Structure 1
Amino acid sequence: MALWGGLSIVDGATGPHFSLNSLYLLPLCLTTWCLGRLAGLALGVITVIVTLYLNGLNDGVSAQASSVPMAIVAWNAGMRTFGLAFVIFLVSAFRRTFDRERATAHIDPLTGLGNRRSFKRESERLESSARRDDRILLCGFIDLDDFKAVNDQHGHAAGDDVLRLVAEALVSAVRPYDVTTRLGGDEFAFCLAVRDEAEAERTAGKIHRLLMSAMDASEWRTTCSLGAATGRTVEETLGVADKAMYLAKSSGKSSWVFWTNDRK
């Protein structure tokens, strides 16, 4: 709005013979990009009125109204409105496409969970929030047991069904604002903030229990191993959780291991 106001002042000061019409596209495009199509259209209407008045038509509309036919005034206003509306709709459509592609770039297409890039960004946000609220982080790794056998025996379509099943169970086991991801292959991860280590251990056990129940109820009857840990930073906590997960797999699979800071 400051840019638009400045242009209007300069446009009025330079008189009707020095046109700045094209420069009005910059604040219009910025408004549409940042605030949406309706805000852009509203500013576009104001721009048409102001530019018609400032760029020569003020002579015909005010002091010498009879010298400029109203049909010409209406035609010029219509053409400017059409041109600005076209630009506004074009910028709005590009912004929607941009937002859709940006969102897709952070989503695993098979499961709908966040991917590695999304997990890094969201877990860092969660770390800052937990530090501010004096909470600790609970991070966990999930690895499906003998997943390759499902693909070999039943085909990759069955394997995809298992991955989607695990993703749905994981989302239902955590809160909407907790961070979940498919890291790749048959590996998943989660990160959330909890009050204390007792709550963290209960939550880790609950997640593993719900995952096992969902997989046991499916026709594939697969299992998973889960490693979870608590900590203050995402990087450190994930490293400990990764070690806990490998311990769970080496101890017989279908199990979960939870490590606190003093037990790692």
Structure 2
Amino acid sequence: MKNVFLFLFIFIPALAGGQNLTDVLKQGEDVFNKTCATGYCHGAQGAGGGAPRVSARGFDQTFINNTVTRGIPNTSMPPFTNALSRADLIAVVAYVAKLNGIANPTIAAVGGRDGLLEPPPVLSGDDARGRSLFFDAVRSFGRCSTCHEVNSIGIPVAAPIAAVPASVAALKTLETPRVSTVTVGGESMPALVLSNKSQAVLFYDLTTTPPVLRTEAPAAVQIRDGSNWHHSSAIGSYNEAELTSILTYLRAAAKP
């Protein structure tokens, strides 16, 4: 049985504040596009993809808040209470409220002078170029953020980036010890196994782009360490110069 992973977001309840609503909604749209609008999530402008449509559903803001905060039990939608910064949480929920016809969604101050939203870190030069490439929506599922999360943006299919490779060559030959070979019904595939319990085996099937989250009965699954999957196969949409910029961005993002 295949289940498509629903990447969602959460909201911290807030009272109306003095922010510029236009700026908040633009920030929310940007966060939504980078984290929730992929084809196996909610699609562009929330029109639906692998996950349900979230636009023009008649949802009120209380319903949106409660649903994304608590998740939906017994589904692939969990609560992501630490997935986004407070500013991004408020902004993206306001944006989804707007998608549901709420003209003036509730927003609140989250810090900074005069109650304004805290701005994102300022990047310049190659750092900024690398960030744009990492989250490049034009590349669709060929972008890095399809599988990696940085500063709470992106899809955390892979584990957090603990060490940035020293060079493009090192990036292309990056070892992937967490990737196993999973066999189901005679079909073998490279996979990231998330959970192997008596009730079910949960893993990402890496034969597809984007990776698909699958749940299988333990009796039907065989798992073997190692695979023929290589990280270089996932970064083919970038050239050498672009990968160099991405590494520069990742080093900047890793600084405290």
* TM-score band, normalised by shorter chain: under 0.3
Question: Which structure ranks higher in relative contact order (CA pairs < 8 Å, sequence separation ≥ 6)?
Answer: 2
Give the number of the structure whose residues are more often helix, by fraction: 1
Q: What TM-score do the two structures reach when normalised by structure 1? A: 0.20
Larger radius of gyration between Structure 1 and Structure 2: 1
Q: What TM-score do the two structures reach when normalised by structure 2? A: 0.20
